[in-house]
Amino acid sequence: MATEVTTTLRESLAAIDAARVWHPYTQHKTAPPPVPIARAVGACLYDHSGRKILDAISSWWVTLHGHAHPMIASAITEQARCLEQVIFAGFTHEPAVRLADELVEVMPRGLTRVFFSDDGSTSVEAALKMALQYWRNNGEERRLIVALENAYHGDTFGAMSTSARGLFTEPFASHLFEVARLPDPTLADGKDTIAALKQLLDERGGEMAALIVEPLLLGAGGMRIWSSETLRALRKLTEERGILLIADEVLTGFGRTGPLFACECAGIVPDIMCLSKGLTGGFLPLGATVVREPIFEAFISDDRRRTLFHGHSYTANPIACAAARASLKLLDAESAGKRAAIELTHRARLGELSGHPAVANPRILGTMAAFDLASREGYLDPVGTELAAFALNEGVLLRPLGNVVYILPPYCISEEDLGNVYSVISLFLTARC
């Protein structure tokens, strides 16, 4: 009887979903039906039949400590009973105030002001508007934003403008603003990137408002790792010329690369840092744009036209802020040990996998491991969907970026479960490649 009820519920959900829901990054004509998930705990998802699916990608890179972590769930419950939402213009509340203070305490020194938004894209939009208006408020019309090849900063228009031109942005190309593009820093040891920035500073330095980068890891662009040395060189050049550096740590923040922030690997402090994804431990949407004090001060004036006219209805939502505070508390020494253990397992198991002739360019950065499937190209390469379907059938959630296979698990994953992810990938390679 229970099985019949479960089947009926699953079929009902599937029918309503097919009739009413538009899923992200999904071609509904060809994609298989989405998997209805009933609950989750730790590193595992469970469908309505009770089947376990190991979440090897942290549910799109957001789940830090594991699903349904009791400490974060308790913080959310307690806050929801007290204050669920209030306008953040003209009002404030303890969860946001405490979170801002606690964030500044763990941020690279010098980042002192927190502007809350809703997600990664909106944190980038806020950063870009801050950078452009900062110069205008200081009496200069600097309009040029500089970005990297193969970058990805989000799907809103400013974020798309600074992202690489390609499949994701092509339909909107005529609506995107001009960006000066530096060569991919993962190539030529970053030398071409540094040289291009030097040349751009010589030619258009007076127009430049900011350089935006994903520190050390170009995420959606293919999990491409670049060096701390290159990042330090870019920071030095921007600092010497007074150009703002925006670090998009939406993916890399909160321990993904080892330390709490990727900028720490290079020992640099940007002028603006964008945060989201793991900020709430994966429980609720929340973004934060954190800036140096002089940037904030450029907006302080008796002239209201110098105000940053930007905000969101759910800015600093109290429940999301409570979740973020609980998540921050969990980023302790124990968490650091778990992250180190994940990296060790990556190194051992990816080392074994790298002997396969189809595996190219294996790479690891903290809790992220990735490789390319040789002789394959592009985000639309069907090998990615083939591997995802194979892995799901084996009880593992993977979502390759075309021919780029990556593993980015919650910090709570066991060595055995992480090893199982690699075993499933190995089975696929043996069967298909």
Tell me the one-letter amino acid at 407.
I
Query: Active-site residue 236, yes or no?
Result: no
Adjacent-strand bridge partners of 429: none
The answer to whether the beta carbons of residues 167 and 380 sit under 8 Å apart is: yes
The answer to whether the beta carbons of residues 145 and 134 sit under 8 Å apart is: no
Among candidate residues 55, 118, 134, 152, the one labeled active-site is 152
Q: How far apart are CA 116 and CA 121, in angstroms?
A: 12
The answer to whether the beta carbons of residues 210 and 131 sit under 8 Å apart is: yes
Query: Active-site residue 17, yes or no?
Result: no
Among candidate residues 55, 118, 184, 248, the one labeled active-site is 248
Q: How would you classify residue 162: left for phi > 0, otherwise alpha for psi between -120 and 50, otherwise beta?
A: alpha
Which residue in the block uniquely carries the two structure tokens 């036209």? 305
Which residue in the block uniquely carries the two structure tokens 């999990």? 223
DSSP state letter for 373: E
Query: Active-site residue 25, yes or no?
Result: yes
Q: What are phi and psi of 193, to 5 degrees?
A: -65, -45
Q: Which helix or strand (DSSP H or E) is residue 393 part of?
A: helix 383-393
Among candidate residues 25, 101, 189, 236, the one labeled active-site is 25
Question: CA dist 224 to 116, 220, 249, 399, Å?
Answer: 28, 9, 14, 16
Query: Active-site residue 152, yes or no?
Result: yes
Q: How would you classify residue 258: left for phi > 0, otherwise alpha for psi between -120 and 50, otherwise beta?
A: left
- How far is C-alpha 33 from the chain's CA centre? 26
Q: What are phi and psi of 91, to 5 degrees?
A: -135, 160
Among candidate residues 119, 134, 184, 277, the one labeled active-site is 277
Q: Which helix or strand (DSSP H or E) is residue 405 part of?
A: strand 404-407
Cβ neighbour number for residue 195 with a 10 Å cutoff = 13
Q: Report the first-to-last Cα separation within the chain, whole angstroms.
A: 43
Point out the residues that are catalytic. Answer: 25, 152, 248, 277
